[in-house]
Amino acid sequence: MKKSITLLLLVALCLVNYRLLDTIDQDPFLITDYSRLHPVKVERVVDGKEQEQLIHLLKEARDKNLTVSIAGQRHSQGGHTYYKDGIVVDMTHFNKIVSFDPAAKVIRVQAGATWKDIQDKVNPYGLSVKTMQSQNIFTVGGSISINAHGRDIRNGSLIKSVESFRLLTSKGEIKQVSRTENADLFPLVLGGYGLFGIILDVTLTLTEDEIYRMTSEAMTVDEYSNYFLSQVKSNPDIHMHYARISVAPDHFLTDMYAINYTVDKTVPLIEHNTLKATEDLVIPTKLLFHLNRSFDWGKNMFWNLQQKFFQVQQNNVISRNNAMRSETEFMEYRGIGKNDLLQEYFIPVDQFADFVHRLKTILPQENLKLLNITVRYVNQDEEATLSYAREDMFALVCLFNVSLEEQGQSSFKKGIQRIIDEVIRHRGTYYLPYAAYPSLEQFQAVYPRYKEFFVKKDQYDPEHLFMNYFYEQYKGE
């Protein structure tokens, strides 16, 4: 009876945390992003709706010596989408499907369109996107600005599926950008965090929708790299893959399970290609994840339930489009004075186990509260100027519960910088869309083409019309 009452109270606490407390510690006159770390006053937020409107807006900003920042869903966590006293352009209303050629497997969309918008459009034609994040809520413009990656292990990071885009520059000019036209801008804007202009629309290449059979396998951290190379990457029928490492005290950074999506051509696509409208069991799963956040026994229980869930799903079939509409809403969290923040590390395949062992030592020493690690595979891709995949790598997506208070932030930053030192020692990199805990020196070590990037920024935007806190933090002298 007492345990039931405790669980009911925790349910109520979850509902309060997620629905009521997310704004209590925020000044409503300030703007911030998902991190809630650096709220500032901006001149105004403008909904981007028409091309001519955006051209006039840039002229006004130049005339008034104002900066411009570009925002989509604002899930980046390092001040990439706003700047003090500047104009924030909200591109989420600039979201039309411009053209679609099913035969050529090409679609052109305005930058504010979401991956859901694309999926809804192409699914009836048996087509799918090649690469996107694990959620379909993000805008296309935002995704290519961070050069996103996902569960697909065959198509590389997002830059590989971008054919071209149109860019509104600081001079008010519209440039068509591709690998052959204004080609210098292509690797700068892809993964350029909105510093070179406003992306108006994007032309993407598509792939076939298909049926996958899901399987899961348990293993240890020490076994994972060999397992991936010998059984996953070497199997051309496995098109998507991810894994999770246990953060439960009973199996802390030791046990793993992997999920594979293997093509099954015996199952007709039409039987399974109805798109799921909403996530299932969000509230109960939020409760379980809150227990994972709050108690060691909750972490053990959550890990055990995850493994049982995927055992139940063994050999289930799912379409590619539905597999790319993954369920992570249950992880969203807003607590007073606290937040769940991401950091992401890219580690060469042969360095994976050794890096995780070092991470296992650092986390308790630095009192870092790790809630989840998802592992994805990223093919080598050095096309973007600020490329994070200099060789084939595993991406370790780490979710931390973090205090937003000054002392807690200082302590967390110290711990993250210590992790980044290990990343560098293991030939790794880290992802730039998240909070700017890495030092300037660490950024420069991990992204050796930083000088080229910032020189080109000065060349294309000499007055620094486009501005954000990523630039301010890492431009250096």
The partner residues of 375 in beta bridges, in order of sequence, read 243, 396
Higher-pLDDT residue of 4 and 449 is 449
Q: Tokens representing 79?
A: 């001040």
Higher-pLDDT residue of 212 and 24 is 212
Contacts of 196 (CB under 8 A, 6+ apart): 167, 169, 185, 188, 189, 456, 457, 460, 461, 466
Say whether pLDDT at 75 is over 90. Answer: no
- CA torsion 134-140-144-147 (nearest 10°) is 0
- Angle at which helix 282-294 crosses helix 2-19, to 10 degrees, equals 100
- Per-residue confidence (pLDDT) for residue 293, from 0 to 100: 78
Q: What's the pLDDT band for 62 if we cut at 50, 70, 90? A: very high
Q: Going by DSSP bridges, is the β-strand pair 238-245/393-403 parallel, antiparallel, or unpaired?
A: unpaired
Q: What's the pLDDT band for 399 if we cut at 50, 70, 90? A: very high
The answer to whether 151 and 160 have CB atoms below 8 angstroms apart is no
Q: What CA–CA distance (Å, rounded) separates 157 from 433?
A: 15
- Per-residue confidence (pLDDT) for residue 35, from 0 to 100: 73
- Per-residue confidence (pLDDT) for residue 78, from 0 to 100: 72
Q: What's the pLDDT band for 17 if we cut at 50, 70, 90? A: very low
Higher-pLDDT residue of 334 and 272 is 272
Q: What angle do CA 302, 307, 313 make, to 5 degrees?
A: 125
Q: Report, as an integer, the average pLDDT of 65-75.
A: 87
Query: Whole-prediction pTM value?
Result: 0.90
Q: What's the pLDDT band for 314 if we cut at 50, 70, 90? A: confident
Q: 273-301, pLDDT tens digit by residue?
A: 999 876 555 556 666 666 767 667 878 78
Q: Report, as an integer, the average pLDDT of 422-448.
A: 97
Higher-pLDDT residue of 282 and 440 is 440
Q: What CA–CA distance (Å, rounded) separates 162 from 48?
A: 22
User: Which segments within 183-226 are labelled E, that is strand?
Assistant: 198-208, 211-220
- Per-residue confidence (pLDDT) for residue 312, from 0 to 100: 66
Q: Report, as an integer, the average pLDDT of 72-84.
A: 80
Q: What CA–CA distance (Å, rounded) separates 179 from 190?
A: 11
Q: What CA–CA distance (Å, rounded) separates 68 from 208?
A: 38
Q: What CA–CA distance (Å, rounded) separates 234 from 212?
A: 17
Q: Tokens representing 118?
A: 């694309």
Parse the chain into domains and list their residue ranges: 92-208, 211-434
Q: Tokens representing 103?
A: 């035969």
Name the CA radius of gyration of the chain, rounded.
Answer: 22
Q: Going by DSSP bridges, is the β-strand pair 87-90/68-71 parallel, antiparallel, or unpaired?
A: parallel
DSSP state of 271: G
Say whether pLDDT at 322 is over 70. Answer: yes
Nearest to 7, CA basis, from 282, 281, 251, 294: 294
- Per-residue confidence (pLDDT) for residue 283, from 0 to 100: 58
Say whether pLDDT at 254 is over 70. Answer: yes
DSSP state of 276: P
In a 10 Å sphere around its CB, with 0-12 CB exposed, 13-18 middle and 19+ buried, how is residue 113 labelled?
A: buried
- Note the CATH architecture for domain 92-208: 2-Layer Sandwich (3.30)
Say whether pLDDT at 9 is over 70. Answer: no
Q: 324-383, pLDDT tens digit by residue?
A: 986 555 456 666 788 889 999 999 999 999 999 999 999 999 999 999 999 999 999 999
Say whether pLDDT at 389 is over 70. Answer: yes
Domain 211-434 has CATH 3.30.70.2520: yes
Q: 100-153, pLDDT tens digit by residue?
A: 999 999 999 999 999 999 999 999 999 999 999 888 889 999 999 999 999 999
Q: What CA–CA distance (Å, rounded) separates 175 from 166?
A: 6
Q: Report, as an integer, the average pLDDT of 53-70.
A: 97
- Per-residue confidence (pLDDT) for residue 457, from 0 to 100: 98
Say whether pLDDT at 6 is over 60. Answer: no
Q: Tokens representing 129?
A: 């996107």
Q: Tokens representing 322?
A: 């539905």
The answer to whether 121 and 107 have CB atoms below 8 angstroms apart is yes
Q: Tokens representing 25?
A: 């510690």
The answer to whether 428 and 345 have CB atoms below 8 angstroms apart is yes
- Per-residue confidence (pLDDT) for residue 94, from 0 to 100: 96
Contacts of 130 (CB under 8 A, 6+ apart): 152, 155, 160, 161, 204, 205, 206, 207
Q: Report, as an integer, the average pLDDT of 425-433.
A: 97
Mean residue pLDDT of the chain comes to 89
- Per-residue confidence (pLDDT) for residue 285, from 0 to 100: 67
